[in-house]
Structures are given as C-alpha cells and as structure tokens.
Amino acid sequence: MWQMKKNELDLSKVLVEESLFTLGNGYLGIRGSFEEGYGSDEICSNNASYINGLYDRVPISYGEYAYGFPLVQDKQPRIVDTQNCQIYLDGERVNLSNGQHSNYERILDFKAGVSTRKYHYETTIGKSAKISFIRLASLWVKNIFIYKIDVEYDGDIELRCSVCTDIKNSGYISDPRVHAQDVKLLNNIFLKSKANKIHCLMQTLKTKIHQATVIDHRVVSNTPYEINHEIDGQTAITSIKSTQSMSLEKHCYFTDGIRFIDPYDEAVSLSQKYADTPFKEFLSAQADFLAEFWSHSDVKIDSNDDIQTSIRFNIYQLLQSVGPDKYSNISAKGLSGEGYNGHYFWDTEIYVLPFLQMTQPHMARSLLEYRYNTLPFAKNRAMELGHNKGAAYPWRTISGEECSAYFPAGTAQYHINADIAFAFIQYHQFNADYDFLAKMGAEAIIETARIWLEIGNFSNDQFMINSVTGPDEYTAIVNNNYYTNLLAKYHLKFASKLFDEFKTVKTESLKTAFEKLCMRISFTKKEALHMKEASDAMCLPYDKELGIFEQDDSFLKKAMWPFSETDKSHYPLLLHYHPLTIYRHQVIKQADTVLAHFLLEDGIDETSIKASFDYYEKITTHDSSLSACIYGIMASRCGYLEKAYDYFKESINLDIKNTHSNTKDGLHMANCAGAVLSIINGFSGFRISQRGISFRPYLPKNWKSYSFKIKYLNREIEVSVSDNIKFTLLSGEPIPITVWGKSIKLKDQLIFDKKKDIS
C-alpha cells in the first residue's frame, strides 16, 4: 500500500520506468536509471538529472516572424548525471541484457522516501552475486542525493562510477521533425578529484548560470579495498576494487547559481558539513519528513484493488516535484523528464495548487511566491504586447519570460492570468492570510486583472473579450471564451473589492501596506469601479435552445467533428489534422466550459451545468492529460457515478499504465493532482468559495471507505466516507460546513448515516 513494486525486469519499458521511478525533492530530480546500465546499446535510456528552476535558453526559429513572438526559449538542462556505476565481478561486467539474473525486485517506497532495487546475478562461469541498490533524494537537505550500492560476491568486485560533463538534452524522439537534435546547454568549467570526492563546476551556455556538484564516495568493505580516481577529458572515473563484499555510498551535493552566489563554494561546504552524517540519519530524517507529510496529505482508501497504492504514487510524485522556493515552480512533467522543456504552465494553479492548498499551505504559498517573484517579467510582457498597464503572465516559462512559440495555443491563452489570480484568491479563502495578500497577493491580482480592461471592450452593454484562446486547444483565437470570461468576471470582481476587503482588516500595518501598494501601482477606486463594471457586464455566451453555456461566441455554429468517420489511429487529432481543420469543428481537446463549472459554480443553475456537461462530453477527445480528471469531478457533480469512476481510473492510471504513451518524456503532474482531486472534489464533492466550504460526499461502488484531511482557516478537518459520512474537527475552533447543500456547524464530529440524513 506504500510501495510501487516491480518483481520483474522488463527492458522494453526502460524509458517509462525511468520516469515512474524518478526520485526528487522539489529541488532535485533524478530519473530512475540503472546504475550498472542495461547491457545493450539497443536499449534507449534517458539517464538524466535536473535542478528545478535552472534554465538555459535556446533560439526559437520562425518561418515567418511577427512582432512580439519570443525569440528565445527557456530550457531545463540536464545536469551532470551521477547515476552511472558499472559493476565488474571477476572482471566480467554485470550485463542485464545478456547475463542471468533472478530474484529481481524494484520498489519505490512512499513512506521511506527511497527507491530500492536488488537481484541475484550469475556470472558466465556460474558464480552468483547479490546486488542491491538504494537511493534517496533528501527531503531534509534538498541539495543532497545519495546512492548506496551493495555487492556480495565470492571473488573480485570492482565498481566503476563515472561522471561525464559532456551532457546534452535529448531531442524529441516522438516527433523527429522538431527539435530532432540533441542540444548542449551546459559547459564544463572544471572537473577534478580531491580525496574521495569528484568536484565539478558547470555553466549554462547562454544564461551563464553556474551549477556545482560534489560527489563523495564512502566505501564500506570487510576486506581491504583500493580506490582510484581518474579524470579523462570530460569524464571522471572512480574505481573501487575489493573482494567478497562491498558497500559503496555516493553522497552527491548539488547547488546552482540562481540560489547561491558561489554555488561551488556552497557545494563544498555542504559536503564538509555532512561528511560524517551517516546514511541512516538521512533515512530517518526522510521517514520523519514523510510521516509528517502523509499525516496531512494522505488519502486513505479501502477497496479490493490496488487503488490505494496508485493514489499514493500520484501524491508522492507531486511532493517530489513541487519547487521549494520562489525560484522554482512545478513543471508540467515535474523533475522526471524533458517533455515541454521543463516549462511551468497553468497546470500549477488549476490542477496542482488546489490539492496543496487543502493540505500543505506552505507548499502552495511557495508556488505563489514564484509567480509573485516573476511579476516584473509579466509586466514587461504586457507592455511588449501593447498594453498600457497590467501584467500578462507567460503561457509557458521557467525564468518568467514568455517561451511559447505558437501563440494561437500559447500567448493567446490569456486565461493564464485569471488562473494565477484564481489561485491567489483561493489561497486567501483557505488561509485568510492578509499579510500575504498585502505583500504579494493583491499586487498580483490587481496587475493581472488590469489586462482584462486592456483586452476587453464594451459592446451593446456587454463586456467582450475578443481574440483569445481558452483551455481547449482544439479551438483557437475566439471571442468570449466562456471559461476565460467567467474567470475574468470573478477575477475582476475580487480585485475591485480589495479596498473593501482591507477595510475589514484590524491590523493597521496591513492597511498601510495595502494603501502603499495602491499608491505604488496607482490603483485607484476609480479603476476598481471600472473593474466592477466590466465584471458585472461580462458576456457569458449562453444557448437558450440547448440550455448550455456556449464555449465561445461561435462554437455551436460550427460543424460537428465527423467522429464516426474518424479512425481510432487518428487520435490524438493534433498529430493527424491541420489546426484549421480542427478549429473549424465542434471538437474539444480538454475540459473547457466543464472546467469553468468546476472552478466556479456559484450562481450558475444546476440544469445548465449538467446540460453543458452532457453536450461537451460527447465532443471531447481527452487528447490532453488535463481532461479526464475534470470530467470525472464534474461527472460526480452531475450524479453520473459510474462515469465518474471510469474517469477516475483513467486519471489514476495515466502514468502508471502509460495510457498516453508519453510517460517516457516525464510524468503528468497536473493529472497526478487531478487523480487526487477526483476523490476530494469528485467523490466527496468538496468546494471552497467566499461563502465557505461544502461537500456532497458519496462512496464509489465496491469501495469500503475513503478518508482525507483538509486544512481550512486554521482548522484541520478529517472527512471519512464509508457506510456513513463522518466529519471530524481535528484541530481549531468550531466552524460551519455545508453538506449536500445544508449548512451545519462542525464542533467535534458530525456523522450522517447517508445522504438522506442531511437533507
């Protein structure tokens, strides 16, 4: 239940397993490659390591360039990979492709925070060895990654660890026409050996950011051993020879020039500071950290299948990927691969943050701080786009600069501004943290809200937002995308009410802080009034005949996609049809209107929500990994319980079963979170709004129970659903909650036999 386990070696799935077994701590991420290699050149492997927030830049080429197109793009570079360690037994290299092995076991342990791997190996002359590996990305000291390799063998043992500084990011194998070539992003400044350590300093090619690595080799052997370091050009090889048994620990220290003035000095200091800290201390610190984490973030499920393990896998991968400071965020693929170049998208705010907001507010806050930290770039970008004021957040980025090379499904997705504001507002709803609001939240919310006044206009008393793209990338550059407009309406309303909001604050210093902010960014009551007017008059396209909200002004007038004539092999459509062919039809890549109704349902009648779901579901291909989870949540909302469970299964298995065939390029972080939301927001129907928190819990068929916790306004509440529905106030003062539409005060515990008890 706390482990993902593989009992068989399958060398045909190396790339996918490397992603699944990635170990990270939000700062560092190292894919699960085999230390000893795979024994064959025919096996494609991406043994890669990453640091969150580190970036180089590569030029973007355009057949036809237009004003405001980004000319360069951030790219998360592979840093020096420390995984490599060949094993020789009596001079014969352990080879998993051709050699004999048995008792294979590989585990990713969510409670211990390590991955392990072990097997018995038989040499060609029939002698047997026991080989085992354990690795850990320290959640205690995030710059540290440790490998431990144990070999027992009645003969000569040699380990040859190598580090190569000639590193390239790999081209996209999936589409040979684009970025087909590997790209070098880092230069070797130096590589040297010192005592049992390898020291290495690298620098990104264009952005000139340093990155340092120190690898400390600690050997435990009952018999005498010999250790040798050798630098050969850009490769350092450390070879350790012994007999009978050997235990090697590689303690690796990683630093970078974004966070440290002298990263090399810092890496050396760290290696000295922790030189005598035994591995077991790291193990126990790891376990402590995770005990605390799971005590708030676990989702317990009692069912007859392996769902419990799967849901923990998804939560664990989120934990491993969330950037720990204002210099980093959570990239679409976490720290597990090079898909999307390591860029951060709206996935953070609309998929990942909701879960963190509920259970790990400090992690949520850290992700928001990154956005605040990059606000100056967003303000510059707004100017570049021709706006007079405001901030336009980039569709995809690492550094904060816009990196989207295809604006119809990039820069045109102005909704990113509302998505980010939505997350700041939600953070405020969960925490009522006026200090954060005054220091960061309000400024980000106001500056992003200004863009709606810049791009929108009044026409026939309605406020229209033209020429944008909504979440659905199968429809581009449209007028009045419902999702965008609904979120903008909410966003503008919140921004316009900030003056009132701060009136209620009692701490004088916070009032002053907000006043100073308004002075500094020239935010006036007049501007707030404009925002209110735009919000009140926001155009929300609605089709009376169908009784549904229209995805945009013209969506329902388009021809239906010829689904019945489309061969299965032609999905995802984007790989088989020209964008114009797709844009011209009623066909949806991912939840759009349906997503809007998940995020904001207040004031929208249930019938329209349900009719919209029914209509759009039929024409959604779910070609994006951001879709299934949202449809699952909304299926729950509409009472389609079987459907909800199907979507949930799709979501929870997306990476584990590689259903989108691209897990090799990295895990799908938004979906990992979406799988969890499918339970919390789906099965339990949790929502938060200005009016408080509410639930509509039910138990999926064949489940015995599920439970989770939510932190809300300094309280922690446990929600537990089995034959009955139980709310327990674990800490904090009594508070009203809404269950199936009825507001009830939660003091210690509330128990309902079933839905009927409540209504």
Please, which residue, 581 or 743, has the CB nearer to a copy of itself? Answer: 581
Q: Does 71 bind a copy of itself (CB under 8 A)?
A: yes
Considering only 105-113, 496-504, 515-523, 550-558, which stretch makes contact with a copy of itself by CB under 8 A? Answer: 550-558
Which amino acid is it at 105?
Answer: E
Q: Decide if 76 contacts 331 (C-beta within 8 A).
A: yes
The active-site residue, picked from 18, 249, 369, 473, is: 473
According to the binding rule CB under 8 A, does residue 181 interact with a copy of itself? Answer: no
Burial 453-468 (b: 16+ CB within 10 A, else e): bbbbeeeeeebbbbeb
Q: Which of 222, 509, 581, 690 binds a copy of itself (CB under 8 A)?
A: 581
Q: Which is nearer to a copy of itself, 10 or 384 (CB)?
A: 384
Q: Is 569 in the site for a copy of itself (CB under 8 A)?
A: no
What DSSP assignment string belongs to 174-206?
Answer: S-TTSS-S-B--EEEEEEEEETTEEEEEEEETT
Q: Which of 464, 629, 676, 746 binds a copy of itself (CB under 8 A)?
A: 464
* Min CB(478)–a copy of itself separation in Å: 8
Sign of CA dihedral 751, 754, 757, 759: positive
**65 or 542, CB closer to a copy of itself?**
65
Q: Considering the rule CB under 8 A, would residue 455 count as an interface residue with a copy of itself? A: yes
* DSSP letter string, 17-29: HHHHT-EE-SSEE
Taking contact as CB under 8 A, which single stretch among the options 198-206, 248-256, 453-461, 615-623 is the one that binds a copy of itself? Answer: 453-461
For 682, residues 6+ apart whose C-beta sits below 8 A from its C-beta are: 632, 633, 635, 636, 637, 644, 648
> Looking at beta carbons only, is 267 or 538 nearer to a copy of itself?
538
526, amino acid identity: K
Long-range contacts of 167-171 (CB under 8 A, 24+ apart): 167/77, 167/78, 167/79, 167/80, 167/81, 167/202, 168/78, 169/75, 169/76, 169/77, 169/78, 169/338, 170/46, 170/48, 170/338
Note whether 715 binds a copy of itself by CB under 8 A. no
What CA–CA distance (Å, rounded) separates 496 from 105? 58
Under a CB-based contact definition with an 8 Å cutoff, are residues 416 and 481 in contact?
no
Q: Which of residues 279-338 bind a copy of itself (CB under 8 A)?
A: none
Is 617 one of the annotated active-site residues of the chain? no
Kindly state whether residue 406 participates in binding a copy of itself, applying the rule CB under 8 A: yes
Q: How far is the CB of 452 from a copy of itself (least distance, A)?
A: 12
Question: Taking CB under 8 A as the rule, does residue 174 contact a copy of itself?
Answer: no
Does 578 participate in binding a copy of itself (rule CB under 8 A)? yes
Does position 380 interact with a copy of itself (CB under 8 A)? The reply is no
Q: Which is nearer to a copy of itself, 75 or 489 (CB)?
A: 75
The whole-angstrom separation of Cα 22 and Cα 647 is 25
Half-sphere exposure of 329 (CA within 13 A, CB side): 31
Binding status of residue 412 toward a copy of itself by CB under 8 A: yes
Distance CA 216, CA 195 (A): 9
Task: Tell me the site size for a copy of itself, rule CB under 8 A.
Answer: 55
Closest to a copy of itself by CB, 476 or 729: 476
Cis peptide before 354 (omega within 30 of 0): no
Which residues in the 477-516 window bind a copy of itself by CB under 8 A? 477, 479
Yes or no: say if 394 and 400 are a contact pair by the CB < 8 Å rule. Answer: yes
The stretch near a copy of itself (CB under 8 A) out of 66-74, 135-143, 435-443, 486-494 is: 66-74
Compare residues 60 and 219 and give the one whose CB is closer to a copy of itself. 60
Q: What is the DSSP-derived secondary structure letter of residue 325?
A: S
- Site residues (vs a copy of itself, CB under 8 A): 60-71, 73, 175, 177-178, 384-387, 404-412, 455, 457, 459-460, 464, 466-468, 476-477, 479, 553-554, 557-559, 574-581, 583-584
Residue numbers annotated as active site: 473
